[in-house]
């Protein structure tokens, strides 16, 4: 059996009186797109922040390709092969699309010219070649979301953490994004963990889905099974009613 790309086990973290993660475990296998769903406040972003070492869990282990990720200093996480995109874009507005992408590549050692040429290749693969030399500022939101993806890919990740990539996109853009994420997975041979509220996207592209509520895992399995799960439906209804 192959080693999981990501193996999260019994992770706990609390902030004051709030237990944000209450013994969460999940695995992402090589080449897999894993969806992470759950109502607001379930702990999805907190888990991302533990994986990227922004937060240190109180307990539990996080292994990446078999190695202890919690032993890796925060600033080396990207170099280890974990890259993320953000719910609210984190681009440099005045830099060009190409320059923003090259920023992502600089975690790797390499000559600037080579990194730049490679970044242009990534932009072409993401249909961004036309805007490569335009400043990020002023470009449509859907385009900027793809630039974030390009920047993450420039770091050569083995695992891509996508935090609500469909947020703020139109219906057609979400459909295109789903196809793009699958294309990226195949082309760059990576795995992805996708936090997303857009069920169409989750159902359309995930190989397996983990549902969370109150910092715990409440379901884990094929997308259709998780969607039909009564505990998952109750968790969403409970939050809506609260």
Ligand X SMILES: Nc1ncnc2c1ncn2[C@@H]1O[C@H](COP(=O)(O)OP(=O)(O)OP(=O)(O)O)[C@@H](O)[C@H]1O
Member of 3, 10, 40, 237 binding ligand X (CB under 6 A): 40
41: contact with ligand X by CB under 6 A: yes
238: contact with ligand X by CB under 6 A: no
Write the secondary structure of 112-161 as one string of H (helix), E (strand) and C (coil).
HHHHHHHHHHHHHHCCCHHHCCCECCCCCHHHHHHHHHHHHHCCCCCEEE
Member of 4, 5, 20, 51 binding ligand X (CB under 6 A): 20
Give the span between the Cα atoms of 153 and 124, in whole angstroms: 12
Give the span between the Cα atoms of 180 and 125, in whole angstroms: 9
Which residue, 18 or 114, has its beta carbon nearer to ligand X?
A: 18
Buried b or exposed e, range 139-175, using 16+ CB within 10 angstroms: beeebbbbbbbbbbbbbbbbbbbbbbbbeebeeebbe
Q: Which stretch binds ligand X (CB under 6 A): 2-10, 36-44, 58-66, 233-241?
A: 36-44
* Residues binding ligand X: number (CB under 6 A): 11
Q: How far is the CB of 44 from ligand X (least distance, A)?
A: 4
In this structure, the number of other CB atoms found within 10 A of the CB of residue 225 comes to: 13
Q: How far is the CB of 174 from ligand X (least distance, A)?
A: 17
Member of 5, 7, 26, 44 binding ligand X (CB under 6 A): 44
Member of 24, 42, 160, 169 binding ligand X (CB under 6 A): 42
Q: Which residues bind ligand X (CB under 6 A)?
A: 15, 18, 20, 38, 40-46
């Amino acid at each position: 059996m192959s080693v999981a790309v990501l193996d999260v086990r019994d992770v706990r973290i609390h902030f004051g009186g709030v237990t944000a993660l209450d013994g969460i475990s999940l695995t992402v296998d090589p080449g897999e797109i894993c969806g992470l769903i759950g109502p607001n406040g379930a702990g999805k972003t907190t888990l991302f922040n533990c994986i990227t070492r922004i937060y240190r869990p109180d307990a539990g282990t996080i292994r990446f390709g078999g190695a202890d990720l919690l032993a890796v200093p925060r600033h080396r996480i990207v170099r280890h092969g974990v890259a993320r995109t953000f719910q609210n874009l984190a681009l440099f507005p005045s830099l060009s699309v190409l320059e923003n992408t090259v920023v992502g590549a600089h975690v790797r050692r390499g000559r600037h010219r080579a990194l730049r040429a490679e970044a242009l290749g990534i932009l072409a693969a993401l249909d961004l070649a036309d805007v490569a030399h335009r400043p990020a500022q002023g470009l449509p939101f859907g385009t900027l979301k793809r630039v974030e993806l390009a920047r993450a890919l420039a770091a050569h990740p083995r695992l891509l953490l996508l935090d609500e990539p469909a947020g703020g996109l139109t219906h057609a853009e979400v459909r295109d994004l789903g196809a793009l994420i699958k294309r990226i997975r195949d082309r760059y041979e990576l795995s992805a963990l996708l936090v997303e509220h857009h069920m169409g996207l989750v159902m359309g592209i995930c190989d397996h889905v983990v549902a969370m509520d109150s910092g715990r895992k409440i379901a884990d399995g094929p997308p259709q099974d998780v969607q039909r799960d009564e505990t998952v439906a109750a968790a969403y209804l409970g939050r809506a009613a609260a």
